[in-house]
Amino acid sequence: MPRCQSPHPEFAKYTEASGFRCDGTDQCWVSDVGNFGTAAQPEYYCIFHAPADTAPTDRDDWPKEAQGELRTAALAAHLDDWRKVVAAGEEGAAPPAFVLPELRCGPVDFKRAAFPADLMLPGAHFTGPVHLRGAVFGGRVNLSWVVFREGVDLHSAVFANATRFQSAEFRGLAGFESVRFGAPADFAGARFAEGAGFESAEFGGDADFEGAEFGDRADFRGARFHQVAAFDAADFAGTADFRGARFSRDASFHGVRFGGHAVFRT
């Protein structure tokens, strides 16, 4: 059975340092593929990685005009398959990661969904709202370079393991209220175009916001930082509200630019 060939090995940003193994380990999860090459020189891609404006040569159920809708339905179905594989896995064996780098997808609704093992979606591009309120992420999460074109709601979500949002782009509201990070959370270089809501968020591991850009209000009221909190070189263009935030260890704000009000006292 062929498997989707994404990501291409030459994708330079998929490196060990970015938490992505390009030796084939972190290859696209999806085995439901179409041939976008020729019979002699096949190029297999899943519906998420189908080259734009092209239909596969070996199947007629993926017309290019329907691919957007097909992706939304397929993502839910593939995640269900993955949950079954993880649940049926042998004890002691590492559960497989769900890997879909650079997936393109419309609105998704995964409220209170469980993601039982590593979730690797670096470079994903969500063109509609993303609902993940109350979702539980049991494994490592890699959402670096992800683009959320509209809002993302992660209210009360739980990230049990190391989580990466490096250089992620939040073009709509980013709702991380009451979210819990059990391990390091890396938002280095992330860009929040609209409001960033981290009210009552709990960071159990290091919180890294180095070089992050907050284009509008950044709300960290009542947030709890149990380990190191780094906001070095971050840029707050709007109000930065840290009232009631508690820092149990070092908090560094070297080279931060506050363009609006910055409030730290309760």
Least distance from C-beta 139 to Zn ion, angstroms?
A: 19
- DSSP symbol at 155: T
Least distance from C-beta 6 to Zn ion, angstroms?
A: 4
- DSSP symbol at 119: E
Least distance from C-beta 30 to Zn ion, angstroms?
A: 5
74-88: string of b/e by CB count within 10 Å (b at 16+)? bbeebbeebbeebee
Q: Toward Zn ion, which CB reaches closer, 124 or 157?
A: 124
Tally Cβ neighbours within 10 Å of residue 258.
16
Q: Toward Zn ion, which CB reaches closer, 120 or 230?
A: 120
The answer to whether 162 and 183 have CB atoms below 8 angstroms apart is yes
Least distance from C-beta 89 to Zn ion, angstroms?
A: 22
The answer to whether 56 and 38 have CB atoms below 8 angstroms apart is no
CA dihedral in degrees (120, 126, 132, 138; nearest 10)?
A: 0
Q: Toward Zn ion, which CB reaches closer, 45 or 170?
A: 45
In the numeric block, the tokens 């938002």 are attached to: 187
Measure the CA–CA gap between 50 and 41, rounded to whole angstroms: 16
Binding site for Zn ion (CB under 5 A): 4, 6, 28, 30, 46, 49
CA distances for 244 relative to 26, 114, 215, angstroms:
40, 31, 22
Measure the CA–CA gap between 1 and 35, rounded to whole angstroms: 12
Q: Toward Zn ion, which CB reaches closer, 70 or 183?
A: 70
Least distance from C-beta 35 to Zn ion, angstroms?
A: 13
Least distance from C-beta 80 to Zn ion, angstroms?
A: 17
**DSSP-assigned states of every residue in 46-94:** ETTTPPTT---SS-SS--GGGHHHHHHHHHHHHHHHHHHHHHTSPTTSP
Least distance from C-beta 10 to Zn ion, angstroms?
A: 16
Amino acid 135 reads A
The answer to whether 116 and 86 have CB atoms below 8 angstroms apart is yes
Q: Toward Zn ion, which CB reaches closer, 46 or 196?
A: 46
Q: Toward Zn ion, which CB reaches closer, 6 or 178?
A: 6
Q: Toward Zn ion, which CB reaches closer, 124 or 230?
A: 124
